[in-house]
Amino acid sequence: MGERRHSALVRVTHWVTTLCFFALLVTGIEIVISHPRFYWGEQGNINTTPLFKIPIPASRESVPTGYGYVLPDQNGWSRYLHFQSAWALVLTGVLYFAYGVMAGHFRRNLFAGAFSWREVTSVLRRHLCFQRADSEEPGSYNALQRLTYLVVIFVLFPLVIWTGLAMSPAVVSAWPVLVTTLGGQQSARTIHFFVSISLFMFLVVHVAMIVFLGFTNRMRGMITGRTGTRLEDA
């Protein structure tokens, strides 16, 4: 039957986060397509020199991209779904964070022992060569995994939420410090874009490592809460 791996709350928040992230990714791409130009500061429009631009056609004729055609504009529904998914992700993240602190999940699995950069680089080299250590259990977190999860949970997710809120007129009107600290709404949008790219890269590597290190056992653990090997509760 296997040993317990993930609690019900961890599994539920994991899959809700997965659905929210997928919705945010799809709608975020559509939002970028409507204006694939990025600026720094408070103001940014078609008459402003961009910090950089993505070489794709836009979904609005007024945006100068160098292409002689425009893509279908789905900006209305995509923005609505993007904001709804973002709030669902925030609430899920707050629940997961509270559980991680109170149940000792972070302390046992992510803050367990000091980091060794030699171990981090060793694990990275091994994974780049598609090698797995014999002692590497599906339920254990090596130094590279712990470092990555800490960055994602305590740096990237808070930053993507912060920059997202900084682009909301309603939120900014109540707490203008959210956007002024970042240098303006266009700065927040640019930072939001790069943080989102970082989270997407994490997702790609995360899925690839699940496939490489044992897709069936890890998926079983995240769906049923149990794996086929003896693992300590996460």
pLDDT tens track for 35-48: 999 999 998 888 89
pLDDT tens track for 135-176: 444 455 667 777 888 899 999 999 999 999 999 888 899 999
pLDDT tens track for 107-123: 877 776 666 666 667 66
Q: Is residue 59 pLDDT above 50, yes or no?
A: yes
pTM: 0.81
Q: Is residue 17 pLDDT above 90, yes or no?
A: yes
**Lowest mean pLDDT segment, chosen from 60-64, 85-89, 220-224:** 220-224
Q: Is residue 231 pLDDT above 50, yes or no?
A: no
What is the 3-state secondary structure of the chain?
CCEECCCHHHHHHHHHHHHHHHHHHHHHHHHHHHCCEECCCCCCCCCCCCCEECCCCCCCCCCCCCCCCCCCCCHHHHHHHHHHHHHHHHHHHHHHHHHHHHCCHHHHHCCCCCCCHHHHHHHHHHHHCCCCCCCCCCCCCCHHHHHHHHHHHHHHHHHHHHHHHCCCHHHHHHCCHHHHCCCCHHHHHHHHHHHHHHHHHHHHHHHHHHHHHHHHHHHHHHHHCEECCCCCCC
Q: Which CATH architecture has domain 3-227?
A: Up-down Bundle (1.20)
CA distance 121 to 149: 16
Q: Tell me, what's the pLDDT at 9?
A: 86
